[in-house]
Chain A
Amino acid sequence: MEYFLQQLVNALTLGAIYGLIAIGYTMVYGIIGMINFAHGDVFMIGGFIALIGFMICVVLGLGWAPLAILLVLLLTMAFTAVYGWAIERLAYRPLRGSFRLAPLISAIGVSIALQNYVQMAQGARSKPHVSLVQGGFNLYSANGFDVRVGWLQIVIVVVTVALMAGFTLLINRTALGRQQRACEQDMKMASLLGVNVDRTISLTFVMGAALAAVAGMMFLMYYGVIDFFVGFLAGIKAFTAAVLGGIGSLPGAMLGGLLIGLIEVFWAGYFSSEYKDVAAFGVLILVLIFRPSGLLGRPEIEKV
């Protein structure tokens, strides 16, 4: 029971991180119907920018944790968003209207280029990071086993929930959100009605990248280590989360992220940690075979 509770706490934290990445996949898929294969690497870039941001804070003598975290958070989001924008502008926009698999192949190219760029600039060794947020409290204690909740885990969940709420408002209440939903339904019609489609799609990538940046920063703080290759697995798991929740659906992405976090942590906790990635891939395959529209998604009808 205690072990179960502890795993549950860990799973929620991990799930929050996956959910944040999954939102980027789901928004992009919803609006232009492509799998942004490079999204996992944008997440990795976010982690690296956060790492360097924290180190600069230390050099500048910014010791007070909340201020440092807030500063690094904003900086990471802003600079990673530029990556999201540039990738869309350079690698995807020229391909709109090309054959179906072209953007996906281009995205694989971006992914390879980003990974090797970071490896070239920062080296292949994984980078350690000592989190500014330490400690925690005992949630529950029985049979000599403490269920610990770290302050960091609380920060992660709170930031995730706040961002989720913010983005849901943005999509449902603002003009930008309306334009995004319009482009999602019918891009040509939306452009006829005066929606700037290019700008809307660019902003979607910017938002997705900013959320991935937050996830990258949380990942860095939670695991205390980052390397150039983390984006690959995390990206695929987050994509699985997006598919599981129903691709194109924002709450679905969050739900899928939580479920993937639960599956992975419990699989590692109760069966074998070597095969935890197989569990995530297995779930992806099962979902696609039996419920391709996901838990909260609408079934997709292929028209001639």
Chain B
Amino acid sequence: MALSTVAPSAAAPDWPAALKDATITAAIALALGIFVSGFRTFDQGGLKFDYLIVDVLVACVVIFVGRLGLTLSSSAPVATLGLGVAALLAAAASFAAGKSSFMPSVFLSVVCAGAGLLLVIRGGWALAGRSGGGAQAIHQGGSALSQAMRLAFPWLGAGLFTFAVVMPFLPFADQRVMDLAILILTYVMLGWGLNIVVGLAGLLDLGYVAFYAVGAYTYALISTQHGLSFWVCLPIAGMMAAFFGILLGFPVLRLRGDYLAIVTLGFGEIIRIVLLNWIDFTKGPDGVGGIPGATLLGHPFAETAPEGTTTFHQWMGIDFNANHRLIFLYFVILALAMITNFVTLRLRRLPVGRAWEALREDEIACQALGINPTNTKLTAFAIGAMFAGFAGSFFAAKQRFISPESFVFIESAIILAIVVLGGMGSQLGVVLAAVILIGLPEWFRDLGQFRMVSFGLAMVLIMVFKPGGLIAHRDPTIRLHPANSRSGGR
């Protein structure tokens, strides 16, 4: 929360300015937190509230110390180090004291420990830099690391793919791991689909989950009402979603970037509201249940076979194991995702793929060159929607139950965050981002609401500090001057 960044100088630290700055920062934090965090309202025969003002005040003190330490880190690293150690000691004392701690909550102790750690690292870093050599060595180490990264880069994709193929047979792959892996792969596929729209064509789509919903409901309704199998419905769901993409995209794709974002958001909400209220057709908020699962060559994954079929384990002559279904689903979504990836990579080399990237870079120049922007954007929109439709019908087949609850705006935001964090246009980045954004929060479910707060803050921080994403790939796939060119790829 820099009000005025104190100029970095090795000269004497400007204590009054630093103190003033830290005081103002703490005061602002107090103003932000005092009402919303300081009084916890609850409903108990009329609305009442608890006072949590002490919590807010302690948080402000931590912020004061942290801000002071950060400001001084360049001019007085020893002071930063000292403040960091003090914060760590305070946190340690609070943990040691347990329930009778002077800290009002465990959460604040954790925050205090984090602040202390940050200050110690910053102070230590600055001290190492001042004593010379240290920072340079670190810098050299960093560049060597990035060199190694660059060399390993082409193999990283292949390595990850191999890992993904053998993963289900590794010893740690129990039911929980497989469930998580399927979830991550679903988001990888959605991310790759949205990457076509956002990363390649540069169209910000905030209603992507609508196409996911269309795919899911197409499969759910056709299979429960007409008894068609997953493999027949899969292409239908994809076509249906692509059709919706064209239907929605046609009127609005002439709009400028941020208008388009809001309109797609509106469309996403309209689809959800229709699903919620068209009760005769979609069963409304109750959702569609009893959706048949996917079958392997007509053999369902179940303990006992329905009339006239043999189950997978009978067919193979092995014992029934609930994990077989998960492993099968895992390979289905892996295949679907890899198809998405492959199609995207090939499309980038076709004229239409080139046109997408060109359109992203300069729309007016494209028009001058005779590219029809609306049609070109429409293809990106429709193809992206189609993959969301595939993913949606997979989702319905896996969950066996869907309701409009699964297709809210936050899902669109998460998919967009995956694409953005991965570095728009980068295929490998999407995988890493999906593992980070979907995998980590699933492991940290206990954090509850704080998970989503940090999710939102992470989106802001990425935009501020690393707008290119984890693996920046904003470069066009080809350039006129091959000296600068980098081959497009994963």
Contact = CB atoms under 8 A, between A and B. Distances in A.
A303 B269 CA distance: 33
A104 B206 CA distance: 11
Interface string B267-279: 1011001101100
A55 B47 contact: yes
Interface stretch (B75-83, B161-169, B393-401, B458-466): B458-466
B41 A51 contact: yes
A204 to B, nearest CB: 17
Interface stretch (A15-23, A164-172, A184-192, A280-288): A280-288
A288 B409 contact: no
Interface in B237-265: 251-252, 254-259, 261-263, 265
A105 B263 contact: no
Interface in B422-474: 448-450, 452-460, 463-464, 467, 474
A34 B258 contact: yes
B463 A116 contact: no
Given A53-B35, A282-B270, A285-B252, A112 B413 contact: yes
Given A99-B467, A102-B467, A285-B251, A110 B460 contact: yes
A52 B41 contact: yes
A126 to B, nearest CB: 9
Q: Identify the interface centre among B35, B453, B464: most chain A CB within 10 Å of its CB.
A: B35
Contacts of A56: 39
B37 A121 contact: yes
B262 A106 contact: no
B307 interface: no
A49 B34 CA distance: 9
Contact of A288 (B255, B276, B454, B458): B255
The majority secondary structure among interface residues of chain A is: helix
Contacts of A113: 452-457, 460
B32 interface: yes
A83 interface: yes
A62 interface: no
A116 B43 CA distance: 19
A79 B31 CA distance: 6
Given A106-B460, A109-B459, A285-B251, A127 B47 contact: yes
Interface in B293-337: none
Contacts of B458: 109
A223 to B, nearest CB: 15
A197 interface: no
Nearest to B276: A274
Contacts of A236: 262, 265-266, 269
A263 interface: no
A276 to B, nearest CB: 9
A112 B410 contact: yes
B17 interface: no
Contact of A91 (B31, B49, B464): B464
B268 to A, nearest CB: 9
B417 to A, nearest CB: 8
A35 B258 contact: yes
B453 A116 contact: yes
B1 interface: yes
B450 A101 contact: no
B453 A120 contact: yes
Contact of A278 (B40, B41, B252, B274): B274
Contact of A117 (B39, B204, B453, B464): B453
B40 A121 contact: yes
Given A48-B35, A127-B41, A288-B263, A108 B416 contact: yes
Interface band, chain A = 35 or more
Nearest to B2: A89
Contacts of B172: none
Interface in B11-60: 28, 31-32, 34-37, 39-43, 47, 49
A99 B474 CA distance: 11
A95 interface: yes
A122 interface: yes
Interface in A253-304: 274-275, 277-278, 281-282, 284-285, 288-289, 292, 302, 304
Contacts of A239: 262
Interface in A44-69: 45, 48-49, 51-53, 55-56
B361 to A, nearest CB: 11
B7 to A, nearest CB: 17
A101 B468 CA distance: 12
A118 interface: yes
B266 to A, nearest CB: 4
A304 B255 CA distance: 16
B32 A128 contact: no
B452 A285 contact: no
B183 to A, nearest CB: 19
Q: Identify the interface centre among A53, A85, A113: most chain B CB within 10 Å of its CB.
A: A113
A106 B459 contact: yes
B453 A288 contact: no
A274 B413 contact: no
Given A111-B456, A117-B453, A122-B40, A79 B35 contact: yes
Contacts of A125: 43
A20 to B, nearest CB: 19
Contacts of B459: 105-106, 108-109, 112
A35 B32 contact: no
Contacts of A89: 1
Contacts of B453: 112-113, 116-117, 120
Contacts of B47: 51, 55, 127-129
A112 B269 contact: no
A101 B258 CA distance: 7
Contacts of B409: 232
Given A115-B452, A292-B259, 9 more contacts: A34-B258, A82-B31, A86-B28, A108-B416, A108-B459, A278-B270, A285-B251, A285-B263, A289-B251
26 contacts: A45-B36, A55-B47, A86-B28, A94-B464, A98-B463, A101-B202, A101-B261, A102-B467, A104-B257, A106-B460, A108-B416, A112-B410, A113-B453, A113-B456, A115-B452, A115-B456, A116-B453, A116-B456, A123-B41, A128-B43, A236-B262, A236-B265, A278-B270, A281-B266, A284-B263, A289-B252
User: Lowest 6 A-B CB distances belong to which pairs?
Assistant: A109-B459, A113-B456, A112-B456, A281-B266, A120-B449, A116-B452
